[in-house]
Amino acid sequence: MSELSTTPELIASNKCFGGWLKRYKHQSSSTGTEMVFAIYLPPQAQNKPVPVLYWLSGLTCTDENFSQKAGAFRMAAELGMAIVCPDTSPRGTDHPGEHESYDFGSGAGFYVNATQAPWAEHYRMYDYVVAELPTLVEEHFPVTDARSISGHSMGGHGALICALKNPGRYTSVSAFAPISNPINCPWGEKALGRYLGPDRESWKEWDSCALIANAEERLPLLVDQGEADNFLAEQLNPGALLHACESAGHPLELRMQPGYDHSYFFIASFIDDHLRHHAKALGLS
């Protein structure tokens, strides 16, 4: 393991609401590539370790989308919560077809561990997000091992599966417009088919609706969905998530928001609610 792997290298630093937003790069053992992540450290982190919310972004995004558009740092500073934003896929591998479409390959890792060549070598975003990145963050920054997780669209899918597959690892979970049932929508069928192969049964390991039925932990889910979201019917299917939760007795607060679309204007409108949701679970309020 290289020196860069164990010591993240600072790329940029900006003071914000009394805390600091910092971007780092490091060599990832999970993806075998250089990865970039952002971390917001609230002012309280100057005096004591603080808990962390992990934010997973959607298709085409990097760590910068949330940092620049979500408007989350004022509330995070007030609550005393760090926020970590990873990238959405490995970068720089240049496999054939990797950069040809917005919904597969570069910027579209889907937070799974790929099993099919050539993707299996580098596209291991699940291992990166769940294990490698938190270990790195907890080793090098003034944070505790109390974790929450949230995300948007593909990242909402990622947040849900990370929590459902790892009982006890996160104190809370939420999502904005998640891809709730990827085994039954075009985005999910394309990505899972190529990353995991044609056996649709194996896809269920990465599908929130399938995981909920046998979840070992009934962590309450907070989900916001815009009713004017162009992707609502074809790709997101919150109704499937609602049905799965009702069938399994899994706690879900699904808030359908009239007039809101899929954009970060939607996220910025309700991000404070989600931060308070996580803060309560993390013992900050």
Catalytic one of 229, 274, 277, 278: 229
Examine the residue annotation and report whether 262 is marked as an active-site residue of this protein.
Answer: yes
| Cα Rg of the chain (Å, integer) | 18
Instruction: Determine how β-strand 82-86 pairs with β-strand 50-56.
Output: parallel
Catalytic one of 106, 148, 153, 174: 153
Examine the residue annotation and report whether 199 is marked as an active-site residue of this protein.
Answer: no
Examine the residue annotation and report whether 13 is marked as an active-site residue of this protein.
Answer: no
Catalytic one of 122, 157, 262, 277: 262
Alpha-carbon span 264 to 261, nearest angstrom = 9
| Cβ–Cβ under 8 Å, residues 38 and 73 | no
Q: Which residues are catalytic?
A: 153, 229, 262
